[in-house]
Structure formats: C-alpha cells, structure tokens
C-alpha cells in the first residue's frame, strides 16, 4: 500500500481527486502532496505532488494547469509542456546530485522522470497525452515502467533530502573490517530513508496543534528540525520558534536546520524568522520565556532568583506560571505563527499554557516527547491538563486524526538509536526487575503500556500479579544493529575493588579502542550519574587519560555547557547534560550510585538514561558490593536472552513502590535537613551535659540509648 504524506496543498480539489484515484493501489511507495520544495531564483517553489513507487517509477504531478483553461489549443499545449519541463528540470537537478542515481557519465540520470498534468475535464485531442483526467490516471500510471530496485532507496533519499542525516564524519581511518570503527561506519551508512511515520511527521503540518510521541532514538529531534526547515521554506514570512530543555541541543538544532534548509533551497535560513531558543534563556542568550517576558513588558526572572523563590525543582514552573498570569492580565497578543517544542516531557503544564498564549490562531503548536524519559511516570499529562480549559470549560487544545488530512497525533514506533538488547537491559535495570526478593524500583501502572512501547508478552497478555516474559517486537527496532553487533560485545559490565582501579581501567580501555578499534575521541561519551562528585571523578579521569596522551573535557566544567562533542577530545558529562545526546561508545562510571535505596526510582532513571545514550556499545563500571549486586542483575537479564521475565506487581504493590522510592520534593528535602539540624543540636547538648537523658520523653531516650550503644 502507498504511504500518503500531506504537505502544502496548492489545489485541494485536484489533490482530493489524485488521492482518491491512487490511495488503494497495491503499489510500494509514497505519494507526497506539496513536497518536495525546490530552490528558485527569488523564492522557493513547492511541488504539487510527487509519486515514487517500485512498480512504476517516479511521477511528478502538475495540478495547476487549470489556470490555462481559456488559452487557445496551441498556447495551452505550449504552456503545459513548459510547466512539465520545469518540473522535470528541478527534480532532475535534485536527483542527479545523488551519485548512486546517475549513469557512468556522471551527469545523466539512470531512469526517467515521468510528468503528468491532471485536469478535471478532457481538454480534447490536441493536448499532450500526459494531460489526463482522474478517470484515466491509474491506467496511465500502470503503463509506466518499474523503478530498477537498486535506485529505489537512494532515489527516496534524494527526494527526502535525508543525505543530511548521514554523519559528516567520513571515517577515512577505518581499515580493519572487524574493528568497532568499521561497525559504526556500517551502522551510520544505513540511515538513508525516513520511515513512513517519520515522513508524515516531518512534512505534515495541520492547521492546528500536533503531538509527536516516541521512544528515545525514534528521531523526534531530527524530525522537528526537518519540519522547521520545511515550514520555513514554504512560508518564509512566518515567525517560527523551535524550543527545548537541554541546552546542549541548541547547536544540534541550528546545525540540522541549516543543513536541511540548504538542501531544500540552496540558501541560509533567515534566523530572524526561524528562531532556535532554549525554553528559559540566560543573561547572554535569549530563550522563549525571557523573550516573551520582555515582549510583554515584564522583567524575566533569572534562574538563581527563581530557585531561591520556588526551589530548584519548581523554579521553571514558578516563573512560567507568573508569566502566564501576566499575559492574561495584559491581554497579550500572540507573536509566533509556529511553535515547535522538543523534550516536552521535561516541561510543566504552565509552560504549555504559555506556549498556547504566545502562538497565533489556529494554534500551530507541535510538541514532541519521549514516552520513557521517566520510568516511574510513563504517561504524559492529558492535553487538557497541559493546555488548560477555556472559560466555558472546554479544552483549549484538541487533536484528531482524519483520513486525507495531515495527522495531529503521530507515534514514531521504531527506535534507531539503540539495539533492542541494549534498550531491554536499560529497561530491566531502570525498573529493577531483578532486585532481590522482588523489591522492584518502579513499574508501569498499566501493563498494556508495554505493547505501546514495543514489547509483547510471550506468556500471553501482561497483567497485574502475572508471570510475564516481555520480548522486544523485531518490527520496533532497526534491523541493521543485528547485522553488525552482538549483545555480548555490545553490553558489558565490570566490578572494581576501588575507584582508582576503575579509573585506570577506563582510561586504558579508551586508549585501546582509539588505537586498535579505529574509534575517534568524539565517538566516546563518559556518563557520571553521581552529580555531586562528577567534577572530581571527571578530573581523575582526565588525569588518567592524559597519561595516555588522550584529551578530554567535562561538559559545563572545563568546556562549554552548550557543546557536548569536540574533535580530538573525549566528552565527560553528568547525567542531566548527557540527556538528548548519544555516542557510539558510552562508559557509565560509578554505576553503584544507582543501586542504593535512597530515591531509588530517580537513581534507576539515571541508569536507564545513561545506558540509552549508547548507539552501539555501553560499558557499565562501578565499585564495591553495590556494583556487584547491579552486575548480578545484568547477568540475569543477559542469561535470559535479553527478555524481561518477572512477576508483574499488583496495583497496590505499584502504589507502594511509588511512595517508597519516589524522589522527595524540595519541601520534603528542606524538612529533612531541618530535622537533622535539630537532632544534631540535641545530641550536642546531651554530650555537653546541658540536657540529661531523664529530661527526654521515655521513648526518645530509649531510642538514643540504643543508638549510642
């Protein structure tokens, strides 16, 4: 069956006739409406429609020749032929740029571009045979020759302009076909075509809101960059904003959008009309929040002041809530035509309400989120909870999928970042399914959620209190991982006697893979979950690497917080700056930090995030008995062929997990600190003789005696 992708419609009636004629044909391919965009001398031009199929090659459609209906036959023929020639010329210029699509002379396309002009009524015998009515459309296409199979994938890559997705790194140093460098080069070469869900997401833009869901590694950030470039090429006067939570995504978004836009138009984006803004902003760089606050005539609150007023975890909620109230009081006039939000799972509801207020009607808001960023909270709040209700109690934002229209709710089902076994290991550790005595760290409250994220229960249907055997659906992971990697090589773990031994092994192993496995320094990411001690751990690692003449940098400490990977240097990061980034080889240092019972779910989320930064290989390292227990969990998951086998907790057990291991709120943390200070003063007064045990309540005195003994 054909994939139907709806971009900008030049003539809705003609598009409807085209879609109705071909939608049920048993062809392998895609019908693009309003795509691709071609560069022009002054402005870009949008194709009315394009059909790509294995069975009948490539067909570009002219749906606009009804404009010539009043011309004399000779003039009509000339006008139609000229328009078809221009369409062929522009498409040919895009396709011949793809080396795999040209003949041996290097300049001639290896297959024919067909062009058809679709009109509602028969214009008579004097027009070209390529001018057809909807009734003749399918029969005409069926007469076209097939596309030679060797050209099909590179042809789609040229149409979609996904060459920009391929890494710029050529890996010319790779000589050994069995090296890690050769493996990652092979994996990177597989990224050529968008899948059918990604095509829809990148190109389809409804006249209203759009939600994008998917696992980490499903391509959300890349798709948002593609969408921003496509919108800007189609509507260069529109005010478009792309925003996100992780600061290190700023440069990634700028680079991706620049590459995608240039591929479409051979020009640089107008960065005044297409803005890439961090959600908050800083004194040196404007963000969405700070820009809107300034435009609304109020002073943006910096993070330091917000943290003091609202607490660390509630700082952004507090300032965005304040700004939402201000915008409503002053009846703020929306300023953006499109607002694209990445990492939506990281934002409070007040941020979405701010986004709603600053976006013009018909509220072209696009938000993309990771369904598994936090394992203890697998579901995003409802749309009504995010965007609120109007004065009549109706949702401010609603989304629906209607056939024949751009989709408003899209799921990206395939994970392209991680091999299936690595993702499964990360889930097993993150949930703690192999902790002793079924003391899980956390669990999804709805057993059916496993199906949504791509797991089937080999024992039947997962349910509360049942034995489950969850297996990754092969259709939900990229096949090319299994072609070049094995689970045993991809995922490994080591237990060390002390921190010094761990540091020395990691430094030596990095030196080994750079010298003998043909990996570069910027192929490597070191993740340190223990955020408090990460600068000291990073410094020790830097010194150890320097003894091997390997350069390194600690993101946000010895290098910019906004740049993760630097040529010739190994990146080290705490867990929060690692989010949103990925590397072929990841070392998790001090993983024993994630074993303990204090705020267990938060620490297990860290471990899940750390493992899922790896595109191919992860090395989980740690010290002491807690790391040994973590290694035992990993050994059990590996021994069970990377399936998740456990007894699903009952609903009351899941509720107890949430209350036992959840992260404390800022208020609770302050209360604990206050209680500790009071206890310290009491003990000091007892030791100084200012208070006698007999002065204390009997129960407290007994507890203190036991503690002192």
CB 365 within 8 Å of CB 341: yes
CB 499 within 8 Å of CB 623: yes
In a domain, 88, yes or no: yes
* Mean pLDDT score of the chain: 88
In a domain, 179, yes or no: no
Rounded Cα–Cα distance for residues 249 and 565 (Å): 11
In a domain, 347, yes or no: yes
Quick one: pLDDT at residue 579?
72
Cα 300 to Cα 36, 292, 313, 587, 675, distances in angstroms: 40, 9, 18, 38, 35
Residue 203's CATH number: 3.40.50.300
Question: Angle of helix 420-431 relative to helix 600-611, nearest 10 degrees?
Answer: 170
Q: What is the rounded end-to-end Cα distance, in angstroms, of the chain? A: 77
In a domain, 340, yes or no: yes
Question: Residues with Cβ < 8 Å from 213, sequence gap 6 or more?
Answer: 368, 369, 371, 409, 410, 411, 412
Domain boundary among 391, 410, 429: 410
702 CB-side CA count, 13 A: 3
CB 523 within 8 Å of CB 569: no
Q: Where are the alpha helices (DSSP H) in 96-166?
A: 134-142, 149-160
pLDDT in tens, 262-302: 888 888 999 999 999 999 987 778 999 999 999 999 999 99
Please tell me whether residues 461 and 344 are part of one structural domain: no
In a domain, 687, yes or no: yes
pLDDT < 50 regions, the chain: 664, 668, 709
Q: Where are the alpha helices (DSSP H) in 26-133?
A: 73-95
Please tell me whether residues 540 and 632 are part of one structural domain: yes
Please tell me whether residues 522 and 469 are part of one structural domain: yes
Quick one: pLDDT at residue 218?
87
Rounded Cα–Cα distance for residues 201 and 695 (Å): 70
CA 575 to chain centroid: 17
Domain boundary among 160, 183, 208: 160
Please tell me whether residues 450 and 583 are part of one structural domain: yes
CB 471 within 8 Å of CB 458: yes
Quick one: pLDDT at residue 38?
78
Contacts by 160-168 with C-beta closer than 8 Å and gap 24+? 160/36, 160/193, 160/194, 160/199, 161/36, 161/94, 161/260, 161/263, 161/264, 162/191, 162/192, 162/193, 162/194, 163/98, 163/263, 164/256, 164/259, 164/260, 164/263, 165/191, 165/192, 165/222, 166/191, 166/192
- What b-and-e string marks burial along 675-703, b requiring 16 or more CB atoms within 10 Å of the CB? eeeeeeeeeeebeeeeeeeeebeeeeeee
Rounded Cα–Cα distance for residues 284 and 250 (Å): 14
Quick one: pLDDT at residue 96?
92
DSSP-derived secondary structure letter, 416: -
Quick one: pLDDT at residue 668?
47
β-strand partners of 367 = 211, 341
Order the strands of the 409-412 sheet from edge to edge: 274-278, 240-244, 336-341, 359-370, 210-214, 409-412
Please tell me whether residues 10 and 76 are part of one structural domain: yes
β-strand partners of 468 = 646
| Radius of gyration of the chain, Cα coordinates, nearest whole angstrom | 29
Residue 242 in 3-state DSSP? strand
CA angle 400, 351, 6 (to 5 degrees): 30
Quick one: pLDDT at residue 516?
96
Strand 49-53 with 57-62, pairing: antiparallel
pTM above 0.75, yes or no: yes
In a domain, 393, yes or no: yes
Locate tokens 């990492």: which residue?
Answer: 343
Please tell me whether residues 615 and 474 are part of one structural domain: yes
What residue numbers bound the domain in which 112 lies?
A: 2-160
Q: Is 108 exposed, middle or buried (0-12, 13-18, 19+ CB in 10 A)?
A: exposed
Peptide bond into 255 cis (omega under 30): no
Please tell me whether residues 402 and 462 are part of one structural domain: no
- Among residues 252, 283, 321, 233, the alpha carbon closest in space to that of 47 is found at 233
- Among residues 426, 470, 605, the alpha carbon closest in space to that of 531 is found at 605
Please tell me whether residues 427 and 562 are part of one structural domain: yes
Rounded Cα–Cα distance for residues 593 and 280 (Å): 30
Please tell me whether residues 35 and 118 are part of one structural domain: yes
In a domain, 171, yes or no: no
Locate tokens 């993702």: which residue?
Answer: 423
Rounded Cα–Cα distance for residues 610 and 604 (Å): 10
Please tell me whether residues 654 and 676 are part of one structural domain: no
In a domain, 165, yes or no: no
**Polymer length in residues for the chain:** 709
pLDDT in tens, 14-37: 888 999 999 999 999 999 998 888
Give me the DSSP letters along 425-486.
HHHHHHHTTTSGGG--S---S-TTHHHHTTEEETTSS--TT-EEEEEE-GGGB-THHHHH--
Number of domains in the chain: 4
Please tell me whether residues 654 and 670 are part of one structural domain: no
Please tell me whether residues 129 and 208 are part of one structural domain: no
Quick one: pLDDT at residue 429?
97
β-strand partners of 623 = 496
Rounded Cα–Cα distance for residues 83 and 68 (Å): 11
3-state helix, strand, coil in the chain (%, to 5): 45, 20, 35
Rounded Cα–Cα distance for residues 256 and 226 (Å): 8
């Amino acid at each position: 069956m054909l994939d139907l992708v709806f971009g900008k419609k030049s003539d809705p009636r003609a598009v409807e006739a085209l879609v109705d004629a071909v939608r049920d044909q048993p062809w392998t391919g895609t019908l693009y409406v309003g795509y691709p965009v071609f560069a022009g001398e002054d402005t870009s031009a949008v194709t009315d429609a394009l059909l790509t199929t294995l069975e009948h090659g490539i067909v570009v459609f002219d749906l606009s020749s009804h404009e010539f209906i009043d011309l004399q036959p000779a003039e009509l023929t000339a006008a139609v032929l000229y328009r078809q020639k221009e369409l062929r010329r522009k498409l040919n210029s895009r396709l011949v740029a793809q080396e795999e699509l040209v003949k041996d002379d290097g300049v001639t396309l290896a297959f024919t571009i067909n062009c058809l002009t679709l009109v509602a009524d028969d214009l008579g015998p004097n027009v070209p045979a390529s001018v057809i009515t909807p009734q003749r459309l399918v029969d005409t296409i069926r007469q076209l020759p097939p596309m030679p199979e060797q050209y099909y994938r590179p042809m789609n890559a040229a149409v979609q302009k996904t060459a920009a997705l391929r890494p710029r790194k050529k890996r010319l140093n790779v000589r050994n076909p069995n090296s890690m460098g050769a493996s990652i080069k092979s994996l990177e070469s597989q990224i050529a075509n968008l899948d059918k869900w990604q095509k829809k997401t990148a190109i389809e833009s409804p006249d209203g809101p759009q939600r994008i869901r998917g696992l980490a590694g499903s391509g959300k950030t890349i798709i948002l960059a593609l969408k921003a470039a496509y919108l800007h090429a189609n509507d260069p006067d529109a005010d478009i904003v792309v925003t996100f939570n992780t600061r290190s995504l700023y440069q990634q978004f700028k680079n991706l959008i620049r590459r995608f836009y240039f591929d479409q138009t051979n020009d640089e984006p107008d960065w005044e009309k297409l803005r890439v803004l961090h959600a908050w902003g800083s004194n040196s760089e404007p963000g969405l929040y700070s820009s809107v606050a300034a435009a609304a005539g109020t002073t943006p609150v910096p993070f330091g002041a917000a943290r003091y007023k609202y607490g660390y975890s509630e700082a952004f909620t507090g300032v965005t809530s304040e700004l939402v109230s201000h915008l409503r009081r002053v009846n703020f006039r929306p300023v953006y035509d499109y607002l694209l939000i990445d990492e939506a799972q990281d934002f409070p509801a007040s941020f979405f309400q701010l986004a709603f207020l600053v976006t013009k009607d018909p509220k072209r808001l696009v938000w993309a989120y990771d369904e598994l960023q936090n394992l203890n909270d697998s579901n995003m709040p409802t749309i009504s909870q995010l965007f609120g209700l109007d004065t009549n109690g109706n949702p401010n934002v609603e989304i629906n999928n209607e056939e024949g229209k751009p989709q408003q709710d899209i799921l990206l089902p395939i994970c392209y970042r991680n091999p299936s076994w690595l993702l499964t290991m990360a889930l097993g550790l993150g949930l703690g399914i192999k902790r002793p005595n079924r003391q899980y760290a956390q669990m999804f409250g709805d057993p059916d959620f496993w199906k949504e994220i791509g797991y089937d229960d080999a024992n039947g249907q997962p349910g509360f209190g049942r034995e489950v055997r969850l297996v990754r659906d092969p259709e939900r992971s990229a096949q090319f991982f299994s072609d070049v990697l094995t689970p045993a090589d991809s995922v490994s773990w080591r237990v060390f006697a002390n921190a010094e031994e761990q540091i020395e092994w990691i430094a030596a192993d990095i030196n080994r893979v750079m010298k003998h496995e043909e990996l570069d320094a910027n192929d490597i990411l070191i993740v340190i979950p223990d955020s408090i001690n990460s600068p000291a751990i990073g410094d020790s690692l830097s010194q150890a690497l320097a003894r091997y003449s390997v350069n390194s940098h600690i993101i946000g400490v010895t290098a910019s917080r906004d740049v993760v990977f630097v040529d010739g240097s190994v990146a080290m990061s705490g867990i929060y700056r690692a989010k949103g980034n990925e590397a072929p080889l990841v070392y998790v240092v001090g993983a024993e930090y994630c074993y303990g019972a204090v705020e267990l779910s938060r620490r297990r989320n860290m471990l899940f995030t750390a493992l899922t930064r790896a595109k191919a290989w992860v090395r989980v390292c740690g010290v002491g008995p807690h790391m040994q227990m973590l290694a035992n969990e990993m050994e059990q998951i590996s021994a069970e062929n990377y399936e998740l086998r456990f007894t699903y907790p009952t609903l009351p057990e899941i509720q107890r997990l949430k209350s036992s291991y959840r992260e404390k709120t800022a208020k609770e943390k302050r209360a604990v600190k206050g209680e500790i200070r009071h206890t310290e003063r009491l003990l000091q007064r007892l030791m100084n003789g200012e208070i006698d045990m007999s002065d204390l309540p009997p129960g407290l005195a007994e507890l203190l005696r036991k503690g002192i003994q």
